[in-house]
Copies of this chain bind each other. A is one copy, B any other.
Amino acid sequence: MKISTKGRYALRLMLDLAINYGGELITVKKIAARQGISEKYLEQIITQLKKAGYVRSVRGSEGGYRLARDPAEYTVGMILRQMEGSLAPVSCLDEEVNLCARAADCITLNVWKKVKTAVEDVVDQITLADLVKDYQEKVVLDLNLYLLTFKM
């Protein structure tokens, strides 16, 4: 019941870009360092996000990546689906042609449908902008804590 690293890393990558939205281009190298993720693996992931039109790139020296749209226009669900293909907990539920022969009689299928809906309700409601806000609030909180510690 794990979300693949692709999905998880893609979300952290997109959040990193979202936090820097409007600023300069961000390199994969910097994201990898900040997030503690393999640089080459991130390259593969960001390539997929680029193909989906979620990020724009500039090649060459001083190049890098940036978000294609405003952070508020990306939901967590969009990003996960792009990387994982579907949020269905079982392949029997994948919308495509992949319909399971047992679907008509399968009692457990209903369980998975409910799980799928529950997950989607969560991830389709959270946008990158929400997460950026969480981040900014956390930064302020940490700063206050720091100031308090040193009695300033």
Contact = CB atoms under 8 A, between A and B. Distances in A.
Contact of A115 (B91, B111, B112, B123): B123
Contacts of A126: 111, 114
A141 to B, nearest CB: 11
A1 interface: yes
**Size bracket, chain A contacts:** 35 or more
A95 interface: no
Number of this chain's copies in the complex? 2
Interface in A117-147: 118-119, 121-123, 126, 131, 134-135, 138
In terms of DSSP, what is the predominant structure of the interface of chain A? helix
Contact of A84 (B1, B3, B119): B1
A131 to B, nearest CB: 5
Among A76, A122, A126, the one with the most B-chain Cβ atoms within 10 Å of its Cβ is A122
B122 A1 contact: no
A134 B112 CA distance: 14
